[in-house]
Structure 1
Amino acid sequence: MDLLWDGLIEAIRLILRADPELQQLVSRSLMVSLTATALAAAAGIPAGIALAVGRFPGRALLQVVVSTGMGLPPVLVGLVVTLFLWRTGPFGALGLLYTPAAMVLAQFLVATPIAAGFTRAALGLLEPDLLAALRVDGAGRLALGWELVRAALPQVLLAVAAAFGRAISEVGASLMVGGNIAGQTRILTTAIVLETGRGNFALAIALGIVLLALAFVVNVALGWSARVPAAAGT
């Protein structure tokens, strides 16, 4: 209990004195994870729509890939991305390893299956008559997908929130491809690992509290975004 209390006090101190290092960690964490989440949503939501209503060759394989990806170990993602970005790897010439861009890529890979799987589940809860009605009205693929997302918007935003939670809480892959370099690729999760290894438990707990607060704020914002269209439609 003393460690938890010390961590809470340290978190309040860091926030109140606007600690520059903490601000860097927060801004870099948000930049990396929000970018990865936006990319994951852009790829995962259409994939979820396709799985929910599409009939196409390779659909079963895509379902297996998404289901497997939802439980994919992040360290495995980190290993694969590292091999591809290593100086002797296929994309080593790009010089992306140990940069925020590599961390965005790793978080994108772990978050996209979450967005796709949750979107598919959300659309599966809709009334079958809605899909039939849209098809009878002659809605094209894009229009059909858009209307389905609108109908299940709160649940789809939940899918985005889950993808963000997966991204911002990820540590293994980010540590491997980012290197936890101070001032460059260190984010909240990797900083927590570092401070725990050093025995600075109060600071590690403080950073964990800040990380939890960030996740809470983003999820509240997404929840509010889901209620605004619903309220406007009533």
Structure 2
Amino acid sequence: MEKIMIVEDDRKIAEYLGSYIEKYGYHVVIASDFHKIMDLFLQENPSLVLLDINLPSYDGYYWCRQIRKESICPVIFISARTGEMDQVMAIENGGDDFITKPFHPDIVMAKIRSQLRRAYGEYAAKYEERVLAQAGLSLFPERFELRYGQKVAQLTKKETDIMESLLERYPRVAGRQDLLEKLWDDQMYVDENTLNVNITRVRRKFQELGIEDAVETVRGAGYRLRITWDEGQE
């Protein structure tokens, strides 16, 4: 079942949208803590996000940029703002569509279906999917998915980028500098510990697949993948 995440601080509007969308067979997740939007997003891994602009603490543009660092799932802005520049800002910050309030729920549903078809269905771009395979592991970068035998782990965008570098370099070392360049455009503002945190998350994904000690730290150089393929995983 496809999952729709609603980020709207007007609870009545959020619940109205949620109940209407659920009638069409979708699972709905409504954000309630507007300081932890990304925590909810990463936990739920929705197929599409409905995102208001005017939100507590950070606006919808900010959250859309954060989502784009982790996912390419469709984002539809819903806002009372009607100016052309607001719609331009929504698209430039990573949005896929824009709906103005007040709205008719049928219009919302039509746009949700359209974006889901474009992203995942009959209108999705047809191309040969990339697969990186090494030592029994199969990484599907466009899906943010790692497979080992019959087990599957869902990844964030940064976890996927790290996995891709490790698999491409296997059995050689993926240098810290190379990983930083792949993950962040401007390394001047990246804390040294940030890469360590992301490597820890990658190790946890391997543990989900039943693989311990998969990523070796090579002191002064970087990280290396250490996997022994078990034929019994097939």
Give the alignment's TM-score, normalised by structure 1: 0.28
RCO greater where, 1 or 2, for CA within 8 Å and sep 6 or more?
Answer: 1
Return the structure number with greater helix share.
1
